[in-house]
């Protein structure tokens, strides 16, 4: 066995959602800013994404995080989220995985009972507070990026479904949110495949009928996800089911989706500053959530800054490499798993 390139990867999951972390084999990504690095992967060279996510080394139901030197001198590390469709600026569940990996591996020194970790991302500086005991990160509280509402109860016409009302918000990326009861389904594992199928038509309709643009970052200019939601009850638990390319349900409650939903719920007077509430995934994982701060964007848009708190666990440490004679050096996709566009 002789590898011409090798990566060291930690396997972690956050509340069930796999968020692997590359800690060795990548020195840096070209770019003066984290946005530049993100765009380099998406526009110029995405071999790392394919190598780590495509078969035979990866699979569709996961993310991979690349640890990078931070641009900001105030940050402990930088990271970029790689997913099956492209590189993304931010993910709440992956922030929890990255923070846990940095501390439990000793890359960043753990201090019990609380360690503050500052991360440099394409969505800005993200601050995480890790609660630690006996060398283990028991949970991570993440201060998410400024999140805001774009539209509430906007009607769109969806082929094969009809007219539905959606909410649109930003929480690190743009989401179209659909009350699951409008399509006669539930956020339960037995409905996962039907949720994915319905999301395809809704995403196409949303792309055609809703235009979005972040006032401070022009590259954030399209809806990335459909998220099905279900209303909470007196227990303040709200179900989320984000549909991720190439066609699967996020196993976690979805941190950026929770952030976008928090902005919308604030504007709908469902929650207020300081309330503690929970978002719950399709398999039951929960994020403890709270709107703690507010800010204003450059065009005057009012934004909330929510926090999410979740847990991550290690499940393996691996080394992935490329043998010189391997015909699938950056992997492959098949339509049986990766959808008709594979």
Q: Are residues 31 and 101 in the same domain?
A: yes
Residue 2, pLDDT score? 83
> Residue 220: its pLDDT value, please?
87
pLDDT digits (tens, 9 = 90+) for 94-149: 999 999 999 999 999 999 999 999 999 999 999 999 999 999 999 999 999 999 99
CA distance 29 to 42: 12
Cβ atoms 64, 82 nearer than 8 A: yes
Mean pLDDT of 199-204: 95
- Confidence (pTM): 0.95
Q: Are residues 326 and 298 in the same domain?
A: no
Same domain as 210, residue 81: no
16 and 134 in a common domain: yes
Band of residue 340 on the pLDDT scale cut at 50, 70, 90? confident
The CATH number assigned to the domain holding 201 equals 3.10.310.10
Shared domain for 249 and 230, answered yes or no, is yes
Band (37; pLDDT cuts 50, 70, 90): very high
Look up tokens 């459909």; give the residue.
Answer: 226
Task: Tell me the per-residue pLDDT of 121-130, one tens digit each, with 9 for 90 and over.
Answer: 999 999 999 9
**CA–CA distance, 45 with 39 (Å, rounded to integer):** 9
Question: Strand pairing partners for 65?
Answer: 21, 81
- Per-residue pLDDT band for 3 (boundaries 50, 70, 90) equals confident
> In terms of domains, do 259 and 206 share one?
yes
Q: Kindly write down the DSSP assignment for every residue of 115-165, as one continuous string.
A: EEEEEEETTEEEEEEEEEETTEEEEEEEE---BEEEEEEEEEEETTTEEEE
How many domains in the chain?
2
Q: What is the pLDDT of residues 150-180, one digit of tens each?
A: 999 999 999 999 999 999 999 999 999 999 9
Based on the fold, state whether residues 120 and 227 are members of the same structural domain.
Answer: no
Q: What does the pLDDT average to over 214-231?
A: 91
Residue in this structure with the two tokens 């099905």, named with its chain if needed: 228
Query: In this structure, how many other beta carbons lie within 10 angstroms of the beta carbon of residue 42?
Result: 17
| Same domain flag for 167 and 33 | no
Instruction: Examine the domain organization and report whether 329 and 191 are in the same domain.
Output: no
User: Percentage of residues in the chain with pLDDT exceeding 70?
Assistant: 99
What would the pLDDT profile of 270-290 be if each residue is shown by its tens digit? 999 999 999 999 999 999 999
Half-sphere exposure of 113 toward its Cβ, with a 13 Å CA cutoff? 0
Per-residue pLDDT, 273: 97
* pLDDT reported for residue 235: 78
> Which pairing describes strands 114-121 and 248-249: parallel, antiparallel, or unpaired?
unpaired
Average pLDDT over residues 302-313: 98
Structural domain of 111: 5-143+314-338
Res 233 pLDDT > 70 = no
Catalytic annotation, residues? 91, 254
Two tokens, residue 148 = 């805001």
Cβ pair 142, 96 in contact under 8 A: yes
pLDDT of residue 59: 94
* pLDDT at 303 exceeding the cut of 70: yes
Residues 153 and 281 in one domain: yes
Average pLDDT over the chain reads 95
- pLDDT for the residue 232: 63
Q: Same structural domain for residues 138 and 205?
A: no
Same domain, 168 and 189: yes
């Amino acid at each position: 066995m002789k590898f011409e390139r090798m990566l060291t990867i930690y396997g972690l999951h956050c509340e069930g959602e796999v968020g692997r972390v590359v800690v060795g084999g990548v020195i840096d990504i070209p770019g003066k800013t984290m946005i530049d690095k993100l765009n380099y992967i998406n526009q110029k060279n995405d071999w790392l994404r394919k190598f780590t996510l495509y078969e035979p080394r990866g699979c569709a139901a996961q993310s991979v995080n690349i640890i990078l030197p931070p641009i900001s001198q105030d940050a402990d590390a930088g990271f970029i989220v790689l997913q099956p469709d492209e590189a993304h600026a931010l993910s709440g569940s992956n922030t929890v995985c990255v923070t846990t990996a940095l501390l439990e591996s000793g890359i960043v020194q753990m201090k019990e009972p609380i360690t503050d970790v500052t991360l440099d991302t394409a969505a800005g500086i993200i601050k995480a507070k890790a609660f630690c005991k006996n060398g283990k990160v028991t949970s991570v509280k993440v201060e998410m990026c400024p999140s805001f509402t774009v539209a509430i109860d906007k009607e769109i016409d969806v082929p094969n479904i009809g007219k539905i009302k959606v909410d649109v918000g930003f929480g690190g990326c743009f989401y179209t949110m659909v009350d699951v009861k409008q399509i006669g389904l539930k956020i339960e594992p037995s409905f996962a495949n039907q949720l994915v199928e319905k999301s395809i038509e809704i995403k196409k309709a949303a792309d055609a009928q809703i235009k979005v643009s972040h006032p401070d970052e022009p590259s954030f200019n399209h809806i990335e996800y459909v998220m099905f939601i279900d209303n909470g009850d007196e227990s303040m638990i709200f179900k989320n089911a984000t549909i991720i390319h190439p066609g699967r349900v996020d196993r976690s409650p979805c941190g950026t989706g929770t952030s976008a939903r928090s902005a919308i719920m604030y504007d709908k007077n469902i929650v207020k500053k300081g309330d503690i509430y929970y978002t719950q995934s399709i398999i039951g994982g929960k994020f403890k959530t709270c709107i703690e701060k507010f800010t204003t964007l450059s065009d005057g848009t009012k934004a909330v800054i929510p926090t999410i708190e979740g847990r991550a666990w290690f499940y393996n440490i691996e080394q992935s490499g490329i043998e010189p004679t391997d015909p699938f050096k950056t992997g492959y996709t098949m339509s049986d798993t990766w959808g008709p566009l594979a």
